[in-house]
Structure 1
Amino acid sequence: MHHKSLVRGLSTLVTTLTLSVSLPLFADDRAMREALEAARSQQWSRIDQSAVDGHILAGYIEYHRLRHQLPHVEPNQVLDFMARHADSPLAEWMRGQAQSQYGQAGRYSDLLAVSDGPPAGGERQCYYYTALHDRDPATAVQGGRDLWLVGHSQSSACDPLFSRLRANGGITADDIWERKMLAWQSGESGLMSFLGRQLGSDWQGARDAVEVLSRDYAAITRVPTHIGPNGAGSGPLFAAAMHGFTRADTEAALEAWRKIAAHIPIESHHRQEIEHDLAFYSMVRNVTHNLAWVDDVLPRLASGSLLELRVRNALASRDWSGAIGWIEMMPEETRLDSRWQYWLARAKEIQGDSIAANQAYARAAQGRNFFGFAASDRLGQPYSLGLERASFNEEYRSEVAQWPVVQRTHALMRIGEQGLANSEWYSAIERANEEQARALADYAQRQGWYAKLVQTTITGRMWDALDWRFPEAYRESFMRWGESTGVDPYLLMGIARRESAYNTEALSPAGARGLMQLMPGTATLLARQLGISDPGPYGVLEPEMNIRLGSTYIRDMIDRYRGNRLAAAAAYNAGPGRVDRWLRDAPEEFDLFVESIPFRETRDYVQAVLAYRVIFESLANGGNTDGIAMLSAHETNVRYDASLLARN
């Protein structure tokens, strides 16, 4: 509940995962915990090496020891460590540490020796391309330019690379100007000033134009069309100025653009960027005078996201012919999505073309989502789950339990290193083949590691493994508090699955906590309402308490909206005050109400929660969707307007 607008080579893994390694399960977890704490703080004298030798986690101590010795170790030592720990995240962590330390020390040949292509992270990339400059200058120049052309400051690690590129022409005055304009767009005034000082007097007119436009965007129709030497600065300047103008006053920005567009010498990507912004903000802000221009430019922009927005606007005004036309203009992958096939069917149905409507409904109904289920309801057929199940014999399961990654994960959990345990687990999923990933998912399920299990299916892209994606986590609690509050327990499961993916310690940026993501203040009020003690910010993380309070809150929202779960789910996510306002201006039909929700997060949230509850109930029914309905007849047929409020 947010109340805001709201995851290499596989050969080593195959070997280490499919062989039972005769290592001791663990030596002394207490000694390992103390050794790891000491290693992190480089207190080597505190480590009882004999107590940790042979422990499944001994590599973590070795990692910290070798990391501390960098950069004063040879790259072959780093590579040896990585080879011995190739089935663990320790290998890539060590590579990253070596790249940083060798780069900082200027040991560029050593950096390249431990590298396997461009690293992640701007600082390491700067070191990498500096090291690569003499060996592969073309790749280094391109990588350096990509790092240069951003609207924010880069790490000082980039300074040597940028200096070399400026000296040999890899970064030109045109590039300095373009970065200055990107900094303007990002509001980075300090970087703008720094870059401006690096430009010669032949750019003074360009600097003057920025000064004028910074005070008054409308001056864009009066500044020179050719900016900088040979007009090279025109595109970046007009793109940056229109970026700000469009956000400040979309109607005036378009009026100015129509005056200058044909006369300014800018590249097509700058023109596309400007017109994409104008179209987007014109539609989002419903700038009436701009909409005819938007319709003219959309076919040329060929943007799937803009076409989606245009269809939503057509639906809001019940322009069914327009909706059909814009849907048919979408890229094929977007157009064939259940959502847009559903709306194509609805429009065709309203126009009286039942054959085309049923064909589109049938395509939509193949989807396992809100609009796919809604299409199935229109056709009067069971929902399509596409459920896949895997089974493993007990002998193989016993083997999986001895895989080193499983043993390390257990050991890290035993010593309280949940973050490291997750890293071990998910990195193994990323490297595993399909069978191995499924075996690990099966293991997580049998261990009751529900949060790990859900994330495993995401990392492993197991989209049809519904028993694992939607496990029976905390089922007894959901059933008990569902019965106590009168709330559909499968709705509670759907909310918890969407809110936290079963991470009992989930903490949102806004401060929402636990399985059902309760704000501490809301939890306090709910506890008072129930006549129980305030659980406090940590007590609310306890699953039973979290489910009890979350069930009470969604019950209150359901009561507020006369039993309507669509509106209640929206209120759980965005707050009841917003939903009250939306209902006062909402279209009457349930599907149009969902599509009209202005916050994308809440729009997606409502669809997910209602679809998830179908999946949970179907799994409880053995995977059979017969007799299961996503919405009640009342929820489907009621008018979605202010009359839905229990208190007007």
Structure 2
Amino acid sequence: MHNKNKLVTLVLTFLFIESAYSTSMSSGSVDRSVIPTQSTLSQYNAKQLVANKTRSISAVKKHVPVESTQTVATRKNTAAIKQLSATASKRSTQTTHASAVVRQEPKKMKLARLEPANTGIQVLAADTVSIRNRLRRIARQRNQYRAAEKALILGKRIEYGLLISKLKDYPLYPYLVSKDYSSRLKSLSHTKLKSFLKLHGTTIPGVRLRFSWVRLLARQQRWNKIIAIYRPTTSRQQRCLYNKALYKTNKKRQAFSNMKKVWLTHRRLPAACKFIIARWHASGRLTAPLVWSRVELMLAKKRSRNILTLKQFLPSSKRHWLITWHNIQRRPIKIANKKLLSSKLPIARRILAYGLKRLARSQPQDAALFWRRNVKKNTFNAYQAAQINRQIGMTYAYRGKYESLKWLSKVPEKYASDKLKAWRVRVALAHKKWPKVLFWINKLKSKDYKSFRWTYWRARALEATGKKAQAHKLFQRVAKDRSFEGFLAADRIRVPYSFQSRTLHYTKSQLLLTESKPGILRAREFYFLGSIRAARREWYYTIRKFKELDLRRAAVIAHRWHWHDRAILTLGKSRYRDDLRVRFPLKHKSMVTKRSKDLQIEPAWAMAVIRRESAFQVSARSGVGARGLMQLMPRTARYVARKLKIKMRTAHLKRPALNIRLGVSYLKYQLDRFSGHPVLATAAYNAGPHRVTKWLKQRGPRAADIWVETIPYHETREYTRNIMAYIAIYERRMGLKLNRLKHRLKPISVRAIANTGINF
């Protein structure tokens, strides 16, 4: 270790001298004051070791695992040697531009120092001060950014030019420049565009500017230029323009080979693709099998409206099959077509298999009868037959029919999806066939078999079959998990709930290291400027490439900004789940508590619904139009508002106070409708009371945990499980008395349908 310290000292000396020499060459004189002495470097190393030891002791107090002082010092020195060697190599090849940067800050030296084993890299105090100073400067630049943006919109070029020159180090500078360049692309020199894209090409504004430039070049028919500036993208329009450019420059084979991935989509292709698709089709490479594959993709995603537009790419002799397919999609009963049944062509088999599966979704009895009487099994391949059996069985399973197991059992294991395997277990559970439950759990994948979820059900089955000792051991294992099944297992064996709450602790310097990343800075500025949508987009774009340590830090940073939805999302992408402070924030606690107590429902329940519905994002809007903190549909919100004699507009659902008032009232209505059963009320809040009523009639009386696990809708099933677990977590977070899950999960029966006069 002594030799390594000597080597570090030598490398540090070399870098200081090299830096001073570079500075002196630019200024004409040598400043010897910047060259460190041997004693200075020894003092620096000694301070490093003392600081590491202090941090290690502090980490132990916080129950954080750390390495020994000697191990940390050794690892630190090894990392420092590697980094300093790389720095020396980099400096030896610096350009004139880089030298100019050194001239501006000759006395600054940025060295990395190791954190304790659990936290990664920590910057020196000089770097921390530098970052903090930059953040203060950024805060002062916000008003200048607003003024520059306004000047650009109003066309005040001189004012904009003066302002933009002061914002070159501002995080949102690329957005302003991209907006400016996009507005005058035709007159802008290619050199300026290339320079901008070289620096900012991978940022959101850079990607947008490149797209605009590609479209302009396509209009100008500058195909070689498009090939030169194109970068791989998910944009089908850009990909088509690039392939068109390849075609126009006599690289047809490459263009046509690229088109297969563009073609196979359920979405409508942009107009820019027409040219290259027409040439691809004319070349004979756009074959009928490719057309049929795209038809299947479109039908699977319920985009059947556009499938007839693909008729032009089929030979005239095959177009009638596309029309037949479209008709069967609209009316599945039309599979009773003699021509279709008698044909031995592969496409006829595909259409017939699709029709049978579609018929099975709504009329499984008719599909099963048709499958037995009218179809010769040897005309289908093994996969098609498995898919038909699967669909008939799944529809029966959703309806609570035990005969579904007969159909699901016919599916060979190699064609059985994870979803199908889970439903075999659920059907056996619904009918309390405990030996079958154990049999089908054993058929699950190893990962699922060992999961806490299915371990709980294995324990339930063992308990029901008299093997209580084995069941108790499994319940003990599951009870250590913070989840719906974990809490249920704890209730079974009467032990305390395991919340496993461990807060992430980082120093200000550690958080500054992540906060100073360019993408996080851009998201931060948009957030503090009030451009929340742009902030969310930039944040998501940035954290995609984050590793575990940065994800955890970014989550803590967002939490400190009170940007709770991003904090929850970011920590959810990491492998760490135990910081309940970040994952279950207490925003709007007082408002929720007041409204809940007024209506005599549990405040923790309302908080759990907000956490699951919107993650505390006030402007949240779902794909079906639900809005606000408690994700109310506008129609439902208006109905509840009328009951409460409140005047409102849809836009008002973004207001936390109104959304919470209406959402809590709606929860209360569902609770009253289903005789005070929180499980049924929770499922009704998500799926609608009419569906819950239908499921109750189909299934009859059963234990509440079995009822939850056999909810037909995946979204509602997971939603109900999560809400029930979140209630217990929020009771702990809010300092409320813990009401164990078994008290909420009373047995469910058809009698739970009460007060049907309430109609939503």
1:112-157 deviation per Cα after TM superposition (whole angstroms, max 9, x unaligned) = 444454x113323333455567899887555422333445642232
* Separation in 1, partners of 2:615, 2:747: 32
> C-alpha separation between the residues in 1 aligned to 2:434 and 2:406?
17
Of 584, 588, 592, the residue aligned with 1:470 is 584
Q: Which residue of 1 aligns with 2:472?
A: 358
Identify the residue that residue 488 of structure 2 maps to in structure 1. Answer: 374
For 2:318 and 2:753, how far apart are their aligned partners in 1? 62
153, 163, 172: which one pairs with 1:51? 163
Please report how far the alpha carbon of residue 494 of structure 1 lies from its aligned counterpart in structure 2 after TM superposition. Answer: 0.6
Give, in angstroms, the shift of residue 308 of structure 1. Answer: 1.8
Q: TM-score, normalised by structure 2?
A: 0.70
SS in 1 for 2:138: coil
Q: Structure 2 regions of 5+ residues with no counterpart?
A: 1-86, 88-110, 113-121
8 Å CA contact 1:361–1:379 kept in 2: the answer is: yes
Does structure 1 residue 422 correspond to structure 2 residue 532?
Answer: no
Partner of 2:720: 606
**Partner secondary structure for residue 507 of structure 1:** coil
Residues 551-596 of structure 1 deviation map (CA, whole Å, 9 limit, x = unaligned)? 3443444344454322232233334454445445543311122124
Are residue 534 (structure 1) and residue 644 (structure 2) matched? Answer: no
Of 738, 748, 759, 1:640 maps to: 748
Q: How far did 1:38 drift?
A: 6.3
How many angstroms does 1:320 deviate by? 1.9
Q: Which has the larger radius of gyration?
A: 2
How many residues align? The count is 621
Q: What secondary structure does 2:684 align onto?
A: helix
Q: Provide the rounded CA distance (Å) in 1 between the counterparts of 2:378 and 2:405.
A: 23
Of residues 149-158 and 307-316 in structure 1, the stretch that sits farther from structure 2 once superposed is 149-158
Q: Give per-residue Cα distances to partners, 1:80-115, cap 9 Å, x unaligned.
A: 324433784333434444455555655554444444
Moved more, 133-142 or 273-282: 133-142
Distance 1:519 1:152 in 2: 27
Q: Shift of the alpha carbon at 1:546?
A: 3.1
Matched, 1:62 2:177: yes
SS at match of 1:308: helix
CA distance in 1, matches of 2:752, 2:303: 47
With 533-542 and 282-291 compared, the bigger mean Cα shift is at 282-291
Structure 2 residue 494 is the aligned partner of structure 1 residue 494: no
Corresponding residue number in structure 2 for 1:588: 702
1:331–1:52 CA distance, 2 compared to 1 (3 A) = same
Cα separation, 1, equivalents of 2:234 and 2:588? 38
SS of residue matched to 1:263: helix
Q: Distance in 2 between matches of 1:491 and 1:431?
A: 35
Q: Kindly indicate whether the alpha-carbon contact (under 8 Å) linking 1:177 and 1:196 is maintained by their aligned counterparts in 2.
A: no
Classify 1:120/1:401 alpha carbon distance in 2 versus 1 (closer, same or farther; 3 Å): closer
Q: Paired residue for 2:337, among 203, 213, 219? A: 219
Contact 1:283 1:313 in 2 (8 A): yes
Q: CA deviation at 1:64?
A: 1.4
Q: Distance in 2 between matches of 1:437 and 1:130?
A: 40
Equivalent-residue separation in structure 2 for 1:632 and 1:53 (angstroms)? 65
**Residue number among 314, 321, 328 corresponding to 2:428 in the alignment:** 314
Deviation of 1:250 after TM superposition, in Å, equals 3.3
Letter of the 1:49 counterpart: G
Paired residues for 1:309-348 under 5 Å: 309-348=423-462
**1:32: how far off?**
3.3
**2:618 maps to 1:504:** yes
1:570 maps to 2:683? yes
| Partner secondary structure for residue 431 of structure 1 | coil
- Give SS of 2:552's match: helix
The offset of 1:502, in angstroms, is 0.1
| Contact 1:514 1:540 (8 Å CA) reproduced | yes
| CA RMSD after TM alignment | 4.1
Q: Tell me, yes or no, if the aligned pair for 1:152 and 1:191 is still in contact at 8 Å.
A: no
Identity %: 26
In the alignment, which of 741, 754, 758 is matched to residue 631 of structure 1? Answer: 741
The AA in structure 2 aligned to 1:611 is A
- Whether the aligned pair in 1 keeps the contact of 2:704 and 2:747 (CA below 8 Å) is yes
Counterpart of 1:7?
none
CA distances 1:144-173 after superposition (whole Å, capped 9, x unpaired): 223334456422322333334334443224
In structure 1, give the amino acid aligned to 2:162.
Answer: S
Amino acid in the other structure paired with 1:165: W
Tell me, yes or no, if the aligned pair for 2:479 and 2:498 is still in contact at 8 Å: yes
Partner of 2:138: 25
Could you give the per-residue CA deviations for residues 162-204 of structure 1, whole angstroms, max 9, x where no partner exists?
3343344432244345546666777877855554454446547
Does the alignment pair 1:85 with 2:195?
no
| Aligned match of 2:66 | none
- Partner Cα separation in structure 2 for residue 536 and residue 607 of structure 1: 32
Q: Aligned pair in 2 of structure 1 residues 642, 249: CA closer, same or farther (>3 Å)? A: closer
Unaligned runs of 5+ in 1: 1-10
Q: Partner letter of residue 470 of structure 1?
A: F
Alpha-carbon distance in structure 2 between the residues aligned to 1:433 and 1:207: 47
Write the distance in 2 (CA, Å) between the matches of 1:62 and 1:207: 49
Give the conservation status (yes or no) of the 8 Å contact 1:75–1:114: no
SS class of match (1:25): helix
Deviation digits for residues 354-413 of structure 1 (CA, Å, limit 9, x no counterpart): 244234434544543212221222232333344443212234456666655555444334
1:263 equivalent to 2:382? Answer no
Q: TM-score, normalised by structure 1?
A: 0.81
Retained in 2: the 8 A contact 1:150–1:179?
yes
- Asked if structure 1 preserves the Cα contact closer than 8 Å seen for 2:491 and 2:742, the reply is no
In the other structure, the counterpart of 1:513 is: 627
Distance change in 2, residues 1:222/1:190 (3 Å): closer
Q: 1:396 to 1:475 in 2, by over 3 A?
A: same
2:365 aligned partner: 251
Task: Give the whole-Å Cα distance in 1 for the aligned partners of 2:683 and 2:703.
Answer: 16
Give 1:466's aligned amino acid.
L
Q: 1:609 to 1:142 in 2, by over 3 A?
A: farther
Q: Secondary structure at the match of 1:226?
A: coil
Contact 2:672 2:755 in 1 (8 A): no
In structure 1, which of residues 156, 159, 175 is the aligned counterpart of residue 274 of structure 2? 159
Q: From the superposition, tell whether residues 52 and 412 of structure 1 become closer, same or farther in structure 2 (CA, over 3 Å).
A: farther
Q: Report if the CA contact (8 A) 1:27-1:54 is conserved.
A: no
- For the 8 Å contact 1:611–1:630, the answer to whether it is kept is no
The change in CA–CA distance for 1:592 and 1:30 in structure 2 (over 3 A counts) is same
Q: Deviations over 1:1-39 (max 9, x none)?
A: xxxxxxxxxx9xx99x97646653256645633543665
User: By how many angstroms is 1:483 displaced?
Assistant: 3.8
> Could you tell me which residue of structure 1 aligns to residue 34 of structure 2?
none
5 Å matches for 1:77-476? 77-78=192-193, 80-85=195-200, 88-102=203-217, 107-117=222-232, 119-130=233-244, 141=256, 143-150=258-265, 153-176=268-291, 178-179=293-294, 193-200=308-315, 203=318, 216-219=334-337, 223-227=341-345, 233-247=347-361, 249-258=363-372, 260-264=375-379, 270-285=384-399, 292-297=406-411, 299-397=413-511, 404-405=518-519, 407-460=521-574, 462-476=576-590
